[in-house]
Each structure stands twice: as C-alpha cells, then as structure tokens.
C-alpha cells in the first residue's frame, strides 16, 4: 500500500522503517527542515522500561497539590482557562486508583519491553549509531518516603517482567562511582540492568537516512492543513509547502504528530485525550576531567534523568502543563542545573548548558494510542508521553503489523 505518515519524530520515523520492511510505499511529511527536530530533539535519552509507573498513580494528586504555585516544581499545572486541560485532568484523576495504575503499568511494561527488543534487533541489523550505552538505569532516592513507595512500585514492575531491583545507597555508588560525593544525600535506589540510553535525535536522523536510502520519501518544510474524508475513509491530505497547497492521496494515513495530533483530528470528530506536557532539558559538554555519570540515572523525587551521550551529559525532566507554550522558563532551567550540581559537584562543564524544552504528548494513563481510528484507513501512533523514545520501535513495528493485516506480537488497547 501507499502509506502517508504525518510526523518525522522518533515515532513517525520508526513507523516508516517498519512499514517499509513490511513492503509498503512510504512517504513522511514534517513541517521541520529535517527529522527529529521537535520532541525527539533533546529528550532524556533513556530507553527506560523501568519508568513504567505512570504519572497518574495513587500518590499523584497530593503531590501535585503540594507542588502548586512552585515555579520549580517537578509537576506544574498553570492555572488557566483551558477546557482541554480540564477534561484531561479529570481523566487523569480517574486513572489514579490502585486498580487503574496497576493495569496501566502492565500495558506500559509490555510495550516497553517489546520495543526495547525491537530496538536491539534493529541495531544488530543496521549497526545504527546514536551514542548508546547498555549500562542500565539507576533510580536514586534522597527521601525515605519516596524510597519506601518506590520499593512497592518495583515489586509490581518485577511482577510484569521489568527486573527493577531495590538496592541500598552504597550499592548505588558502587554501580555509579560518580555519585560518591552525593553519598550522604542518598537513602537507596533501584537498578534495572537491561535498560539503555542513547541520543534520540541522532537515532531518528540516522534511521531517517536509512529509510531514505531504501526508498522512503521524506517531504520536509511541509504542513498538513487538513484531512479530506468521504464515507468513513480518508480520501486525501491537503498539504502546504512553499506557500502552495496541494492534495496528496494514499491508501493509508498515519498520524504521528505527538502533541499536535488532537488538533488535526478534532475537525474529523475524533476527541483524543492527548495533552502537551512541556519538558525541559540541559545538555552539558564535559571536560575530560569531569566527574560525571556513565550509567543512566533517574532522580525520582525531582523527576529528572541524567544520561551520558558521548562527551555530553543530558539532564532532562519535569512537566509543565501550559498548553502549547514552548518558551523556556529560566527558573525551571536553573532548577535542572542546581540539582545536577548537588549530585555532581565536580562536573566541570566546557561551556554553558544548552537549554531546550519540548512538548510530550501525554495521555491521562500514560498508555499511548496505537492502531486504527474510527476511519477505516486512518491510523494513530501517538500519546507516548515521556516514553516516546522507549516505545518508538515497538510502536512502529506493531502499527506496521496492523496496517499489513497481521496481529501484533503484543496486545494493544483498543482506541
């Protein structure tokens, strides 16, 4: 079939790769000048099955209230009149029950494990490079209550197949010696040896090049204005490039526009509960004398991750619910570096950090939408939240199976 994909982020390009391998003729549309320049550009860099516990959990409502009004809070809701956020927030609260949290963890772990295995197979097949490390992910805790809650979460994750092992503070330092100076702060940790890290933008760019070399067509600097419909099917997409609009047709259409997916679908009557959660990152070039981690780290209390990408350190995290605002907030940027300095006082950056923010497409449950929509030839691959990089290959592979008329290797929720 001729398949038209909207979005050249890590999820859209991964979809293109697996659809190409399934024998389809693929075209990818993106408004940017190259692949991976929006949410995939400077994210946390972790392939993190161990991050499967959703934001919507029994502890979340009280934590969100305690953070209200704090400009540097890990989770910040901007109080504003926004019906989409209000609706999303109510759905989020419904997902915070123990039963829903458990079901969501199960589905997230299943997809994340499958995706990690697909990424490893792709790497073996293509030798693609993206500054990846296979040294696991270490969660560290500086608050005893946070650590106690994490011990219970780790038990649930292990039950569903994620080998997240609880360890003490000394074991944390043994796994990552760069934490030695922070040892007095630590109360314990969790370690998932099979998790990985790597540069999502580099991966997306290089995978797009592999796709292009094998026949995938990429049309950059092109926007999709609207989808045309007739009789329960999509009949074409109105695209705009160089000031001119033109209709392009295909047999199947894939929307992988991240946080912007609902805006394209709303005129079709599809109300998708995906809301942009702005995340921040800082990328620090390191001097050779830096005492910096090589194991990927997660500071659960502050919702931050630290990933080594060659001679760079990526610090990323937090979530700000403020619509489609993409302006950098200096307070939140500095909060990243203040926490980094507490953990790694001998970091020794070469230059000032490169700050960035991107909009994560978040569902209330943290479970993405993958599969056929209410239109027979319109498919969705969106809503991955903080785990787009983790879930990209698995999501693309599963969607290629669905479009090709095969059952995916893993079970997916119905859209």
Average pLDDT over residues 307-315: 97
pLDDT at 289 over 80: yes
Q: How big is the chain, counted in residues?
A: 415
pLDDT at 319 over 80: yes
Q: What gap in Å lies between CA 166 and CA 50, rounded to an integer?
A: 12
Helix pair 388-403, 200-213: axis angle to 10 deg = 30
Average pLDDT over residues 296-316: 95
Distinct helix (H) and strand (E) counts, the chain: 10, 20
Residue 61 tokens read as: 């409502």
Q: What gap in Å lies between CA 28 and CA 33, rounded to an integer?
A: 12
345-385, pLDDT tens digit by residue?
A: 999 999 999 999 999 999 999 999 999 999 999 999 999 99
Q: What gap in Å lies between CA 261 and CA 278, rounded to an integer?
A: 16
Q: So what's the pLDDT on residue 71?
A: 76
Place of tokens 């029994």: 58
Distances in Å between the alpha carbon of 90 and those of 84, 94, 273? 10, 6, 11
Average pLDDT over residues 22-40: 98
CB atoms within 10 A of CB 222: 18
Strands (E) across 322-368 are located at 354-362
Average pLDDT over residues 155-168: 96
41-60, pLDDT tens digit by residue?
A: 999 999 999 999 998 989 88
Phi and psi for 21 in degrees, rounded to 5? -65, -25
Q: Is residue 49 within 8 Å of residue 195, measured between CB atoms?
A: yes
258-284, pLDDT tens digit by residue?
A: 999 999 999 999 999 999 999 999 999
Angle at the Cα of 236 from the Cα atoms of 38 and 383, rounded to 5 degrees: 35
Nearest Cα residue to 304 out of 327, 337, 330, 274: 337
- Looking at every residue in the chain, the average pLDDT score rounds to 95
105-114, pLDDT tens digit by residue?
A: 999 999 999 9
3-class secondary-structure state, position 120: helix
DSSP 49-71: GGG-S-S-STTHHHHHHHHTT-T
Q: So what's the pLDDT on residue 70?
A: 76
pLDDT at 28 over 80: yes
3-class secondary-structure state, position 186: coil
Q: Is residue 348 within 8 Å of residue 319, measured between CB atoms?
A: no
Higher-scoring residue by pLDDT: 60, 327: 327
216-234, pLDDT tens digit by residue?
A: 999 999 999 999 999 999 9
Q: So what's the pLDDT on residue 357?
A: 96
67-98, pLDDT tens digit by residue?
A: 777 777 777 777 778 899 999 999 999 999 99
pLDDT at 141 over 80: yes
């Amino acid at each position: 079939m001729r398949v038209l994909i909207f979005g050249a982020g890590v999820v859209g390009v991964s979809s293109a790769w697996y659809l190409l391998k399934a024998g389809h003729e693929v075209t990818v549309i993106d408004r940017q000048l190259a692949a991976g320049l929006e949410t995939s550009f400077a994210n946390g860099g972790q392939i993190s099955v161990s991050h499967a516990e959703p934001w919507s959990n029994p502890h979340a409502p009280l934590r969100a209230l305690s953070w209200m009004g704090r400009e540097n809070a890990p989770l910040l809701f901007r109080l504003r009149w926004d019906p989409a956020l209000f609706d999303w927030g109510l759905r989020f609260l419904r997902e915070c029950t123990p039963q829903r949290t458990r079901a969501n963890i199960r589905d997230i772990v299943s997809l994340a494990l499958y995706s990690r295995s697909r990424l490893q197979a792709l790497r073996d097949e293509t030798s693609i490079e993206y500054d990846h490390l296979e040294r696991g992910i270490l969660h560290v805790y500086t608050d005893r209550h946070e650590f106690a809650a994490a011990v219970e979460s780790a038990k649930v994750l292990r039950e569903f197949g994620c080998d997240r092992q609880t360890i003490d503070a000394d074991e944390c330092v043994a796994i990552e010696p760069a934490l030695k100076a922070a040892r007095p702060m630590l109360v314990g940790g969790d370690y998932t040896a099979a998790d990985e890290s790597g540069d999502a933008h580099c991966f997306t760019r290089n995978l797009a090049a592999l796709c292009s070399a094998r026949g995938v067509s990429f049309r950059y600097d092109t926007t999709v204005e609207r989808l045309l419909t007739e009789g329960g099917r999509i009949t074409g997409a109105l695209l705009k490039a160089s000031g001119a609009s033109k209709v392009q047709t295909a047999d199947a259409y894939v929307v992988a526009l991240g946080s912007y997916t609902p805006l394209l679908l709303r005129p079709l009557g599809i109300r998708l509960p995906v809301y942009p959660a702005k995340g921040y990152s800082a990328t620090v070039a390191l001097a050779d004398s830096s005492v910096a981690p090589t194991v990927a780290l997660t500071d659960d209390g502050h919702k931050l991750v630290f990933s080594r990408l060659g001679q760079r350190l990526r610090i990323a995290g937090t979530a700000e619910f403020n619509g489609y605002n993409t302006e950098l907030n200096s307070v939140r940027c500095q909060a990243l570096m203040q926490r980094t300095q507490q953990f790694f006082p001998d970091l020794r950056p070469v230059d000032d950090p490169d700050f960035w923010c991107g909009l994560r497409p978040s569902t209330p449950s943290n479970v993405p939408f993958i599969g056929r929509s209410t239109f027979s030839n319109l498919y969705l691959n969106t809503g991955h939240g903080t785990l787009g990089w983790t879930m990209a290959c698995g999501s693309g592979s599963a969607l290629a199976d669905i479009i090709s008329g095969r059952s995916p290797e893993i079970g997916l929720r119905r859209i």
